[in-house]
Amino acid sequence: MSASTCPLCGQRRARRACPALGHQICAVCCGTKRLTEIQCPPDCGYLVSAKTHPPAALQRQQERDARFVLPMIAGLSEHQYQLFFLVQGTLHQLAETGELPVDDDVIRETAQALAATYETASKGIIYEHRPSSLHAERLSRELKPLLEGQEGHRPVASERDLVEVLRRVERAADKARAALDGGHRAYLDLVGRLMQPAPQADATEAIENGAGAPAPGSSVIIP
């Protein structure tokens, strides 16, 4: 890799000095990884400019994200909707820690196995469907206490709600790569953007203009 190549993508020329990383990166990585994979300082000139004048590429990405997210949440009850974003936030946190090697395939396999387990339990049969990969098995063990509640606490949702949400996570992780033109972490990258806090002024303005409300803790406006 040459000195002028972006160290994040390894493809494009690095032309922007990134104060968060301490070296130069390309404009595409600056725009797409801002506040998700890169913890930008609030006084970064590129960040300030982007908030004031969102580039067309970012607007297109937000529109594409919304088109992908809407079918994911269509028909969910209020409780299922909150549960869906609780799962997204947990997946994002686990992926960000780096303790688990998580990608879209691991998430798909984990959601598939957990959903099958709760489907079986809803029929009165206790049988744990286990993922075939070690990484998915570890992720499943991390998620189960969240979904089922700690000892002495009630589960966060019924088995029916858990199945509904987990099946949607499974489908989203399976389809994200093609729908969002991403790599093996297309879904995780989407979740990172969903978890990005929306500036209060932007969210208020969007709601007043009839665009809808942001997803919980999200910069993506959901009609």
> 175: buried, middle or exposed (CB in 10 Å: 19+, 13-18, 0-12)?
middle
Residue spans of beta strands (DSSP E) within 5-144: 16-18, 23-25
**How many whole angstroms separate alpha carbon 80 and alpha carbon 76?**
6
Task: Note the pLDDT of residue 204.
Answer: 38
Residue 12 has pLDDT above 50, yes or no: yes
Give 76-103 pLDDT, tens digit per residue. Answer: 999 999 999 999 989 888 888 877 889 9
Task: Note the pLDDT of residue 36.
Answer: 87
DSSP at 196: S
Task: Note the pLDDT of residue 55.
Answer: 66
pTM: 0.65
Share of residues in the chain with pLDDT > 90 (%): 48
Average the pLDDT over 150-169 and give the result: 82
**How many whole angstroms separate alpha carbon 198 and alpha carbon 34?**
13
Closest CA to 196 of 178, 217, 168: 217
Identify the band that residue 209 occupies on the pLDDT scale cut at 50, 70 and 90.
very low
Mean pLDDT value across the chain: 83
Residues 18, 55, 90, 111, CA torsion sign: negative
Identify the band that residue 113 occupies on the pLDDT scale cut at 50, 70 and 90.
very high
Question: pLDDT: is 166 or 215 the higher one?
Answer: 166
